[in-house]
Structure 1
Amino acid sequence: MKKPIILTVDDDPQVLGAITRDLRKEFHKDYRILSVGSGPEALKTLDELRARAEPLALVLADQRMPDVEGVEVLTHARSLFPSAKRVLLTAYADTTAAIQAINSAQLDYYLLKPWDPPEQLLYPTLHDLLASWQATYRPAFAGIRLVGFQWSPLSHDLKDFLSGYMVGYQWLDFEKDAEAATLLQASGFGPDDLPVVFCPDGKVVSRPDKLDLARHLGLLVEAKQELYDVVVIGAGPAGLAAAVYGASEGLKTLIIERQTPGGQAGSSSRIENYLGFPTGLSGAELAHRAWSQATRLGAEFMAPQEVVDLCVKDGYKVLTLGDKTEIKTRAVVLTTGVSYRTLQAPGLDRLSGAGVYYGAARTEARSCSNQPVYIIGGGNSAGQAAMYLSTYASKVFIVIRGDSLAASMSAYLIEQISQTPNIELLPRTQVREACGDTSLEAVVIQRDGQEPEKHPARALFIFIGTKPSTEWICHLAICDAKGYLLTGRDLVADPRYGVSWKKEREPYLLETCVPGMFAAGDGRAGAMARVASAVGEGSMAIKFVHQYLDE
């Protein structure tokens, strides 16, 4: 972190050298000492410090300087750095001007020259002023800063991406945060270039795609090896478990994720029924722990990359990525999971990412402070989101078509919701429309047998069921009528599918119709939609990978 700056200005080289020497002797451990030899140079230096967002703690300026006097320098410093302390250096003959400047330039103090000895005539005063400044000083954020519009879908995507990888960042709303405009002006970009990412190393990127941002963050975006024992596609709980067990058992393991680790479970604000965590943990924390564990054991984690095709050549599985590169592996574990179904109603598509969100969208919770929000859905994910949002929103409305939550939500969540005063259940209700010009402002809801009603809403979170993310693989692997991957006995028990299995042995429990390609987690037909079962299937898939590789 950069040290705050003490700036001293004097056109007399001997005086400037003396004050600089004394300041460095006393304050160099905690402050950077800058010295300039004229008023115009001081004004330019102040402008540069402001453009670079440098922390300025104190300015000492000599009064009698040609072109620009000390009071003018301190007045300019006040306009750029209102919290910085301002001290005028003056001779005895100029004390009247100094006293007048206390009011006109709002000086904090004036010091007479000479100040010898500094231990008595300089340091005590400056220590008091700097202690006062430190009491209110808030160091500038040293990590990634993201400047954008609150209701921009692209800004939302970048926030979700950074938070999904647990990358610390500072969000600056261009319309509300004064610092955002300053940073943007200094970078040479304008409002049309938003969102803009400011990196700690000084690099500034306008509207970056996730792949470029991942490269800059040091994430792996290209395979390191020519051939892997197993490639896991998808980094939800099942995929992360497969990667942990594959790497721990000595397999050359690569896991590929197109978005962020954790899948749908990763967006859960609190998972309270996972074994071994009696107080619960967030989905993001679980995903990050598993990701760290897998990489520590030797698995390679590639993201954000998407597998768009898979084929079998000479017994090897060849994966084609979105950037057209290819990866060769001996076995594959498909843990692509599921995605939320979209809701069809006027305004939803137009406002998606600008107040309308599919899933928890935890990064937008603070924007809902003291505002009403609506949640559509009655499953556990909807209940966890309602509990999380209730700490920010003035009111959380859960909209469901049925009569109650009992058929679709765990009992512990239903009890928590019933005990939370600012959560209200709206049974036998549907959302008919989302309203707003550039962001969500209201929703139109309709209860059974009643007329539609329009209500204010800051955000709408949609959890209306899921569909398997298997469209890209259905040409190769057999799926059921709903798109879920068929595995094991399901392939040979049904005459329609049994002819597709060519091996003499029966398929392994989690094996698809392609030998050596396995499926685990929510995208597999017959899977139980629970985090614990997904972790179990991902772990078990590695056992079958070993059996296949040993054939």
Structure 2
Amino acid sequence: MTESLAGLRPVLLTVDDDPSISRAVARDLRRRYGEHHRVVRAESGEQALEALREITLRGDQVAVLLADYRMPGMTGIEFLEQAMDLFPAARRVLLTAYADTGAAIEAINVVDLDHYLLKPWDPPEEKLYPVVDALLDAWRTSDRTPVTETRVVGHRWSARSHEVRDFLARNQIAYRWCLADEPEGRRLLDAAGADGLRLPVVVPPGGDALVAPSDAELAERVGLSTVPSSDFYDVVVIGGGPAGLGAAVYAASEGLRTVLVERTATGGQAGQSSRIENYLGFPDGVSGSQLTDRARRQATRFGAEVLTTRDAVGLSAHGSARSVRFADGSQLHAHSVILATGVSYRQLRAPGLDELTSKGVFYGSALTEAASCAEQDVYVVGGANSAGQAAVYFARSAKSVTMLVRGTSLEASMSHYLIQQIAAQPNITVRTSTEVVCAHGEDHLERLELRDLRSGEVELVDSSWLFVFIGASPHTDWLDGVVARDDAGFVLAGPDLVVDGKRPQGWVPERDPYHLETSLPGVFVAGDARAESVKRVASAVGDGAMAVSLVHRYLEKP
């Protein structure tokens, strides 16, 4: 690569393995845009990714990516998919031959492609420049907060260090992880005036260091919204998983004053999935983080507010208003509320696990730890789709992945396509009728005791990595005594509230509850927190959309 990466002008990056084409594209781009943009040229996907990493470290912005489809080692689609993680706001163009237009159409789903450009593009005044002009206009008006570097300094097996990294990753905040006992980590601690006793230390770009920050402090400093612009809305959505995001998109797009509040980060369990392959409209699959990012951007584009680090602890009615109280004592008021609080993985009850949580024992996929698992032996507990997706993901880099399943097979709880993928991975082993009975380790997980439920035999295995996906519990304890719930804590709604023709106790309206309406009129439930709901992304999104239509009906006739 011949171009310098220095400078502050937005970057136009082109990558093509044919040097003559690469030079021609760069030449045409420079001729039209060189005065106000920096053109960077690469001749392979890996070279282009390295350039993007350098650009990231410098805090510069990338406006447009143009990648050739047919490149050895890494196709243009594969490059653009990885580049999205570094510069999600950059506009994406695939350079194709006429015979590859099918691949370009496929890329629309895989990498949210903005345009595909047929080669040759002569004359550029007719075929290249109008396309790039339109993409630059769209980029300038989009949410393109500069990709800046937040640095996190901590210990490898620190639970709080893991939580901070997970918080940043799930909120799509670029960061670099530095170990406190390595030279760069020590240099940052010295520069921040930190003694290294209280970790992690977070160094935001252009700001003072944060020592052992809370999530709320961290959110404020990295630019996440935590304070609402108003104290009264048409609808407050509690929870930012697929159901909550779906509700926010539909409510805001239909003109309702909408605010979505989330405890940690949008996406819920789905947002932590490495790959969702059975969601409608994505034939090649989509990562949970990509799907979440698109949905969040879609909601905010329609005018919804998205607030993080807001932990709902109370719900009440005051005349026609519904009030949500948060852990910090603040409140939001609205005409209606949609409960989309989702569920969390149940804790695995065995000696040693509680003490080692986030120190080698993780609940959920913990994708922030994936790089550390390279060439390691990883154990995954669970037999449903989330466990299967995690196993396939970790198998890409881990030495081995062992799935521990209490049941006798995967067929009863896992989608067929995932079972096939697992069977095709030579480094994944499925051990059925097996449970974890104990975990051992000093400052981190070192060994596991496994019991064969058929023979009763106990085996001790070495491992520093255990990821647990065993059932789910709803986040509804804070609603006790406010809305009706079943014995497991899931919220009852609609027809389930009418028993033998009798409406729920305290019900005032002269009508039955609407389909997703709870026992408190004007409060609706969507997604996994609803009793008898289908635990799938598509059904959660559908619940969110349906809840908005019922909110309209409620607002017209309470």
TM band (smaller chain):
0.7 to 0.9
Between 380-389 and 487-496, report the one with greater CA deviation: 487-496
Note closer, same or farther for the CA distance 1:222–1:382 as it changes in structure 2 (3 Å cut).
same
Structure 1 counterpart of 2:74: none
Is 2:201 aligned against 1:201? no
Residue 361 of structure 1 corresponds to 366
Question: 1:491 maps to what in 2?
Answer: 497
Do residues 525 (structure 1) and 531 (structure 2) align?
Answer: yes
Match for 1:406 among 400, 411, 430?
A: 411
1:241 aligns with 2:230: no
User: How many residues were matched structurally?
Assistant: 417
Partners of 2:313 and 2:326 within 8 A in 1: yes
* CA 1:497–1:434: 2 relative to 1, 3 Å: farther
After superposition, where does 1:47-62 map in structure 2 within 5 Å? none
Q: Name the amino acid aligned to 2:523.
A: M
Aligned-residue offset at 1:514: 0.7
Q: Is the 8 A contact 2:241 2:342 kept in 1?
A: yes
- Alpha-carbon shift at residue 496 of structure 1 (Å): 7.8
Look up the match of 1:390: 395
Q: Residues 204 and 222 of structure 2 are in contact (CA less than 8 Å); yes or no, is this contact kept in structure 1?
A: no
Q: TM-score, normalised by structure 1?
A: 0.74
Q: Once superposed, what is the RMSD of the aligned Cα atoms? A: 1.9
Q: Distance in 2 between matches of 1:494 and 1:465?
A: 32
How far off its partner does 1:450 sit? 4.0
Aligned counterpart, 1:64: none
The yes-or-no answer on 1:186 pairing with 2:181 is no
Q: 2:234 aligns with which of 229, 238, 248?
A: 229
* Matched residue, 2:342: 337
How far has the Cα of 1:427 moved from its partner?
A: 0.8
Residue of structure 2 in register with 1:281 after alignment? 286
Q: Give the fraction of aligned pairs with identical amino acids, expressed as a percent.
A: 47
Confirm or deny: 8 A CA contact 1:147 1:197 kept in the other structure.
yes
Partner deviation per Cα, 1:257-314 (whole Å, 9 max, x = no partner):
0011110111110000000011000111111110010011100001111111011112
Letter in 2 for 1:522: D
Could you say what secondary structure the match of 1:264 adopts?
Answer: helix
1:495, CA displacement in angstroms?
Answer: 6.7
**Aligned-partner SS, 1:333:** strand
- Structure 2 CA distance for aligned equivalents of residues 497 and 313 of structure 1: 21
The answer to whether the 8 A contact 2:192-2:208 is kept is: no
Write the distance in 2 (CA, Å) between the matches of 1:495 and 1:375: 46
2:512 is equivalent to residue 506 of structure 1: yes
Q: Which residue matches 1:453?
A: 459
Aligned pair in 2 of structure 1 residues 330, 351: CA closer, same or farther (>3 Å)? same
Structure 2 counterparts to residues 18-33 of structure 1, below 5 A: none
Distance in 1 between residues matched to 2:257 and 2:456, nearest whole Å: 60
CA shift at 1:3, angstroms? 6.2
Classify 1:189/1:408 alpha carbon distance in 2 versus 1 (closer, same or farther; 3 Å): same
SS at match of 2:207: coil
Give the secondary-structure state (helix, strand or coil) at the position aligned to 2:356. Answer: coil
Cα distance in 2 between the residues matched to 1:303 and 1:3:
35
Structure 2 unmatched runs, 5+: 8-37, 39-56, 59-146
- Distance in 2 separating the partners of 1:325 and 1:403: 49
- Whether 2:329 is the aligned partner of 1:324: answer yes
The answer (yes or no) to whether the contact 2:408–2:433 under 8 Å persists in 1 is yes
Pair 1:220–1:202, CA change in 2 (3 A)? closer
The Cα offsets for residues 226-271 of structure 1, whole Å up to 9 and x where unpaired, read as: 2100000000000000000000000000000001111011111000
Match of 2:432 among 427, 430, 435: 427
Q: 2:378 aligns with which of 364, 369, 373?
A: 373
Contact 2:517/2:525, CA 8 A, preserved across alignment: yes
TM-score by length of structure 2 reads: 0.73
For the 8 Å contact 1:491–1:501, the answer to whether it is kept is no
Alignment-mate amino acid for residue 205 of structure 2: P
Aligned pairs (5 A) from 1:87-236: 143-175=149-181, 177-236=182-241
Q: Aligned runs of 1:457-496 on 2, under 5 Å? A: 457-494=463-500
The SS at the match of 2:498 is: helix
Q: CA, structure 1 residues 543+443, in 2 after alignment: closer, same or farther (shift >3 Å)?
A: same
Is contact 2:493-2:525 (8 Å) kept? yes
Amino acid at match of 2:508: K
